[in-house]
Amino acid sequence: MSTSVISPAELADSLRTLRAQTPLVQCLTNIVAAQWTANVLLAAGAAPAMVDNPEEAGVFAGVSSGVLVNTGTPYKETYDAMRVASAAAHSAGTPWVLDPVAAGGLPVRTAFAVEVLANRPMIIRGNASEISGLSGGAGGRGADSTAAPQEVLDLAHELARSTGAVVAVSGAVDHITDGERLVRIHNGHEVMTRVTGVGCSLGGLMAGFAGVSEPLLAASAATALICVAADNAVATSQGPGSFAAALLDQLALVTPEELEEKVRLS
Amino acid sequence: MSTSVISPAELADSLRTLRAQTPLVQCLTNIVAAQWTANVLLAAGAAPAMVDNPEEAGVFAGVSSGVLVNTGTPYKETYDAMRVASAAAHSAGTPWVLDPVAAGGLPVRTAFAVEVLANRPMIIRGNASEISGLSGGAGGRGADSTAAPQEVLDLAHELARSTGAVVAVSGAVDHITDGERLVRIHNGHEVMTRVTGVGCSLGGLMAGFAGVSEPLLAASAATALICVAADNAVATSQGPGSFAAALLDQLALVTPEELEEKVRLS
Amino acid sequence: MSTSVISPAELADSLRTLRAQTPLVQCLTNIVAAQWTANVLLAAGAAPAMVDNPEEAGVFAGVSSGVLVNTGTPYKETYDAMRVASAAAHSAGTPWVLDPVAAGGLPVRTAFAVEVLANRPMIIRGNASEISGLSGGAGGRGADSTAAPQEVLDLAHELARSTGAVVAVSGAVDHITDGERLVRIHNGHEVMTRVTGVGCSLGGLMAGFAGVSEPLLAASAATALICVAADNAVATSQGPGSFAAALLDQLALVTPEELEEKVRLS
């Protein structure tokens, strides 16, 4: 695994820095995942703040360490807030993450996601269908992917090159690319898809890590942390309910040393 | 219990089909129960999607297997989305479930619930006060019922006959009727009322089962599954917090065979 | 500890009354904490109802036992609902609690919180930065406090005297004052800050207790209950996820006698 472009030690350092600095993460996300995303960020060591109204979203993006824009349940007012926040983040140099939930499957939000690409997200995170949909291809079924990351790898590389963003495609094996370099993470477990908002919260974690590390490392560290935490949590849980609680525990308990030891990169 | 109009074996078959087909369930629900409802559906084996804005709700209702309309925290935009989704579901033949939260107690949402009856829900689900309220009678206290299902049974039968919907009244004993046939389910536990959104999520489950079974069976299978899962969960929990996690576990763990064996019908 | 202006026995009596009367608590709160707040109220023994739209909020405030107004994720429509609900509560004599989330840090919501002071909240609850911000001082970092309760004690006393409200400042030691008398509660644990919405739910609990006890006792009983429950929950949990579940369990399990025995007042 020595061939990976990012080393386990770099991931561990990024987690160390996150916990030392507690980055402030502004989340503009959906009503389903808002609580879970805040709890994931708190457990991992970041400070979430859900400022998602148009009057305050821009000011706050200027003082945040990272911003998440997630299109899970968009309304007129939160669309406006996402526009304002992403523009303000771009102006202020605050890294922001775009999670284009259900892009490709629903034309209105696909168009919105394409529109805010102009505000230059540092990371674009989605499942294979969403990355395909954002690139003009077919979408998935609701929020679920109907494809695997490796099937959209060419689209992901192309999207990264055309937008300048790191593109992170989640799935059984997570694929993360900046258009040239590719990081694959082999941890994680199928039960993660049986708890709502795990993917959404990963976008929040990426925004937190982007406040302390460069984008490719940030997206990789966030993914590695939640996947290693999930590996641990599966071992002590009986089903999706106890798994969700154990996952939050593990996000707080996994040490940088443990992350370095357990992450499986290629 | 051999006199029941639905057999335990039919309930087991319905669960088998749900897990085999993973129906896509569009949920237009409240900010309190959205996450919990998604987790209940995922645990049971369905695929939730919370598409609740007016621009996308109609298109999505056309491709969903079932739709939930729940009036827990309605706003102007979500009311519009519920109108669009229920009309589109009716046009497309997608089964949809109406959960008229707090009907009878609050005139605005009572009027809304009565209005969308024109879009022919396949199942109407509520507690006794809500079913009474929707029928023009007295409502309850907030989202809580001040009556028991058996007290509103005549109203439920009448509502079923006048709307063509199956009417499911939750309580210590759940009562489900299509206007002629009556299914009573005797499982479940009082602690279910100490976790917010359990009733709301039952409406979501019914929408999922309605995607794979006829309405009376769908409403019964959803109720039986969550009540048997609750019976199991109570045995391993200390209070409402650990019960909630155990309930999600059990929704995934209960097998069709176990459901058939443990359900108590009359 | 015999010098405290409120006795442990009075706190126990307040909890006894809450559980006997199950006060109906209307919550106008944020999308992050709505589910958690409802679950905290249900576990403790109150009846939550999230009626937060402008058309229904006023009527409902008139029939509720207590009302919570929390500015965590305000939108145009929920701001309107909060105005209507707080005015109606004032008119009807329903006690209401103001939780001015992020006041001081964000001008729009600070102005709103100052505006609704005219509707005479019975309790104002916040962290030290929010109490400072509401008093015209500096705010915190997002929803997090950058000060300790004792640092803003003069401001809290002054705010209590100028508004007629009890002011409750949460922190490592909770400080609660009516402008003359001061109650300090020394229970609780740092992990409470690693679960989102614990502070928000405390505001909801205060609204519930205010339905059965006078404001200084209500704010103290709510704080004591959640802090003693947290002390118990920490003992059986591994991290923030299992702690959250255990906290809900303990809110239901802690008896009035246990509360009286374990609370540490000064």
**Chain segment A107-151, per-residue pLDDT in tens:** 999 999 999 999 999 999 999 999 999 998 877 777 778 889 999
**pLDDT score at A3:** 65
Q: How far is B242 from chain C (nearest CA, A)?
A: 5
CB contact under 8 A, A197 and B35: yes
pLDDT range class, residue C2, cuts 50, 70, 90: very low
- Domain ranges (residues) in chain A: 8-262
**pLDDT score at B1:** 40
Report DSSP letters for A56-94, one per residue: THHHHHHH-SEEEEE-SS--HHHHHHHHHHHHHHHHHT-
Q: How far is B31 from chain C (nearest CA, A)?
A: 6
What are A149-154's contacts with CB under 8 Å, separation 24+? A149/A173, A149/A174, A149/A175, A150/A175, A152/A128, A153/A177, A153/A182
* CA separation for the pair A167, A121 (Å, rounded): 10
* Residue C138 reports pLDDT greater than 80: no
Q: Nearest Cβ partner of A43 from C73, C141, C239?
A: C239
Q: Is C52 on the interface with B (CB under 8 A)?
A: yes
Which residues in chain B (61-80) have CB-CB distances under 8 A to chain C? 72-76
CB contact under 8 A, B241 and C253: no
Instruction: Give the relative orientation of helices B198-210 and B34-44 as an angle to the nearest 10 degrees.
Output: 50
Task: Name the residue of chain B whose CA is nearest to C23's CA.
Answer: B141
* Residue B258 reports pLDDT greater than 90: yes
Q: Nearest Cβ partner of A239 from B47, B56, B250?
A: B250
Q: CB of C233 within 8 A of CB of C253? A: no
CB contact under 8 A, A75 and B53: yes
Q: What average pLDDT does this structure show over B169-181?
A: 96
Structure tokens at C206: 């205060």
Q: Is A125 annotated as a binding residue?
A: yes
DSSP C141: B
The ipTM, to two decimals, is 0.96
- Which of these ranges, B92-96, C189-193, C246-250, has the smallest mean pLDDT? C189-193
Q: Is C253 on the interface with B (CB under 8 A)?
A: yes
Name the residue type at position C42.
Answer: L
Q: How far is C226 from chain A (nearest CA, A)?
A: 19
Residue-level length of chain B:
266
CB contact under 8 A, A239 and B252: yes
How much of chain B, in percent, has pLDDT values that exceed 70?
Answer: 99
Q: How far is B73 from chain C (nearest CA, A)?
A: 6
Q: Is B50 annotated as a binding residue?
A: yes
**Averaged pLDDT of chain A:** 96
Q: Is B197 annotated as a binding residue?
A: yes
Q: Is B145 on the interface with C (CB under 8 A)?
A: no
Instruction: Please state which architecture CATH assigns to domain B8-262.
Output: 3-Layer(aba) Sandwich (3.40)
* Residue C17 reports pLDDT greater than 60: yes
DSSP C50: -
**pLDDT score at C250:** 98
CB contact under 8 A, C141 and A249: no
Domain C8-261 has CATH 3.30.70.100: no
**pLDDT score at A137:** 81
Q: What is the pLDDT along chain A (266 residues), one digit of tens a residue?
A: 446 899 999 999 999 999 999 999 999 999 999 999 999 999 999 999 999 999 999 999 999 999 999 999 999 999 999 999 999 999 999 999 999 999 999 999 999 999 999 999 999 999 999 999 999 887 777 777 888 999 999 999 999 999 999 999 999 999 999 999 999 999 999 999 999 999 999 999 999 999 999 999 999 999 999 999 999 999 999 999 999 999 999 999 999 999 999 999 99
* Residue B186 reports pLDDT greater than 70: yes
pLDDT range class, residue B22, cuts 50, 70, 90: very high
Residues of B whose CB is below 8 A from A70: none
Instruction: Give the relative orientation of helices C240-253 and A240-253 as an angle to the nearest 10 degrees.
Output: 120
Q: Is B173 on the interface with C (CB under 8 A)?
A: no
pLDDT range class, residue B3, cuts 50, 70, 90: low
Q: Is B109 annotated as a binding residue?
A: no
Structure tokens at B37: 């409802």
CB contact under 8 A, B32 and C38: yes
CB contact under 8 A, B194 and C50: no
**pLDDT score at C3:** 65
Q: Please choose, from the candidates C260, C256, C251, the residue with its C-alpha nearest in 3D space to the C-alpha of residue C46.
A: C251
User: Could you tell me the sign of the dihedral formed by the alpha carbons of A226, A134, A76, A85, in that order?
Assistant: positive
**pLDDT score at A1:** 40
* Residue ranges with strand state E in A36-95: 47-49, 66-70
Q: Is B103 on the interface with A (CB under 8 A)?
A: no
Q: How far is A155 from chain C (nearest CA, A)?
A: 34
Please report, for chain C, how many H helices and E strands are present, in that order.
11, 8
CB contact under 8 A, B247 and A238: no
* CA separation for the pair B260, A64 (Å, rounded): 53
**pLDDT score at B2:** 46
Q: What average pLDDT does this structure show over B203-211?
A: 98
**Chain segment B103-147, per-residue pLDDT in tens:** 999 999 999 999 999 999 999 999 999 999 999 887 777 777 888
